[in-house]
Structure 1
């Protein structure tokens, strides 16, 4: 089944951003070591395959002048089993041509190798108007797309977010021991404490679900700090011993005024079930989307299947004890 892949999109962005960032190791390490690696550039003769592509890619991009502007204008990614693909467009201004705006397009095809996504095909181009190429204006698709959009309205928004779930370990046993009245009182205090921490970190407390919660954050950094603060707060709290486990995934979500939907939400929930008592488990997409210089410690890289989701998935444990 083909489905949108925020995880792949994060990997694609990481590779693209390594070009202006001159991060040579990332450019190489995110590409396959297999002989079928294919690289297509914008030049007439730029079609290469094999291991030489991986070894030479950093130097190939390294001769590009410094970037004055490198802004993403479109991005999407999909996966189907062990295969995936991403398409991205950018606006670029280079230091040696400050008056020219380029709009390169990049398509990346991925294969899942030992639990990690690797680029097996890269195709880059700088668009040329159809009139310059064929001498005609080819508007059929553009006209159909514009017509399809007319009158389309839905009370929802798409956006990038880190989604966090919390879950109380052995909640049924605790509720049985405490009794309904005390358990209800403790849950009210628990949710109030979580809401305070989440909102102080810049997040949104979306909802409570039985003994668990769902929240969202504009950035992965905020979600990770909130998760650490939640466990640290509970570690020194008075009252009944309530142990939590937390899961976080990052990507594009569909949001209404009251809830969040999509594969990112589903994956975050699945990751939570893999966490042990007092653990924070995060997706590789969350780790990859962190801004440079953020000081988080990750351990226990694990490749696992997730119920209801295709393929294997890379997750990490986030350390939280100071």
Structure 2
């Protein structure tokens, strides 16, 4: 019987430890995380950086030791597993001390479960180059696909307004490293079950889990706020160990729906509002607050003007008093 592919919080923690070991030039940790198979492979971003097997295991710590100090800003990391095989994709910006140049990097990883421990069998690092520079053309197929999805959404006259909610566990990497992958994975799964139950009880849909957080959608802004407040209450009252703190952000606007996913500027802004929230806080955009501001059962703190990463101008955000 085919085994299902599923998101893997455990592999996200493993890959983050790998990336941290590279940044810290921890050769011992990197060697320990590598598979002992002769089929292990590494593809770097520079010409000639292709190594395999025992040569890779022996030389990679020395290669890492030559890398100048750099600051690391992770933009996205997702991981999946299917039986004894897992894979991950990471996007990050690295700023090297040697030239102070910030460079986008993309990483793909393939891992294999060996004696109950995930081991790295393949790592690929690349730097994005514009298609016009590389091949002299710009690809239009994806733009056309997005446009077609948007047009179809309008033609079907489906409801375009939704309140999108993001949740994020605070300091998840540090907690995972302290507890270990197995304990942390169980804690994450319990948290996701709590989130799903709370979201669906208010008529919402859990669209996806994102490593250490969730994205959900609601047709009602009030329902989204009620779910957020209840999730914070239940999470803080949860007696199970380890205890976790979460931040929540909500924004309301037009979305495009394809299958079970949503995308559009509303999704981006909801994620940024969540990132601006403090531990145990629910932050909402002014658009969401405006829709429910006159309802006595929902109380907010004073408006706060702030910048949201990747979005132009100043944005007004409210804190929900849950």
Q: TM-score, normalised by structure 2?
A: 0.51
Q: Given that residues 158 and 253 in structure 1 are in contact (C-alpha distance below 8 angstroms), is that contact kept between their aligned partners in structure 2?
A: yes
Q: Given that residues 78 and 89 in structure 2 are in contact (C-alpha distance below 8 angstroms), is that contact kept between their aligned partners in structure 1?
A: yes
Per-residue deviation, 1:46: 2.0
Per-residue deviation, 1:42: 1.1
Report the CA distance shift for 1:155/1:281 in structure 2 as closer, same or farther (over 3 A).
closer
Report the CA distance shift for 1:145/1:158 in structure 2 as closer, same or farther (over 3 A).
farther
Q: Given that residues 75 and 88 in structure 1 are in contact (C-alpha distance below 8 angstroms), is that contact kept between their aligned partners in structure 2?
A: yes
Match of 1:159 in 2: 168
Among 175, 184, 200, which residue is 1:220 paired with?
Answer: 175
Among 70, 73, 96, which residue is 1:71 paired with?
Answer: 73
Match of 1:107 in 2: 108
Query: Matches of 1:152 and 1:88 in 2, distance apart?
Result: 31
Unaligned runs of 5+ in 1: 163-216, 225-246, 266-271, 273-279, 283-322
Query: Matches of 2:13 and 2:162 in 1, distance apart?
Result: 28
Query: Matches of 1:30 and 1:220 in 2, distance apart?
Result: 19
- Stretch moving more, 34-43 or 151-160: 151-160
Match of 1:254 in 2: 214
Match of 2:64 in 1: 61
Report the secondary structure of 1:16's partner residue: helix
Q: Given that residues 87 and 107 in structure 1 are in contact (C-alpha distance below 8 angstroms), is that contact kept between their aligned partners in structure 2?
A: yes
Query: Matches of 1:147 and 1:88 in 2, distance apart?
Result: 28
For 1:258-269, list aligned pairs within 5 A. Answer: 258-259=230-231
Per-residue deviation, 1:254: 2.2
Q: Given that residues 188 and 212 in structure 2 are in contact (C-alpha distance below 8 angstroms), is that contact kept between their aligned partners in structure 1?
A: no
Per-residue deviation, 1:107: 0.3
Among 29, 33, 44, which residue is 2:32 paired with?
Answer: 29
Query: Matches of 1:53 and 1:104 in 2, distance apart?
Result: 21
For 1:1-322, list aligned pairs within 5 A. Answer: 1-67=4-70, 69-98=71-100, 100-145=101-146, 148=149, 151=160, 153-160=162-169, 220=175, 248-249=187-188, 251-254=211-214, 256-257=227-228, 258-259=230-231
Query: Matches of 1:57 and 1:145 in 2, distance apart?
Result: 41
Query: Matches of 2:167 and 2:72 in 1, distance apart?
Result: 22
Higher relative contact order, structure no. (Cα contacts within 8 Å, ≥ 6 residues apart): 1
Q: TM-score, normalised by structure 1?
A: 0.51
- Over the aligned positions, Cα root-mean-square deviation in angstroms equals 3.4
Q: Given that residues 161 and 219 in structure 1 are in contact (C-alpha distance below 8 angstroms), is that contact kept between their aligned partners in structure 2?
A: no
Query: Matches of 1:3 and 1:281 in 2, distance apart?
Result: 23
Tell me which structure has the larger Cα radius of gyration.
1
Report the secondary structure of 1:18's partner residue: helix
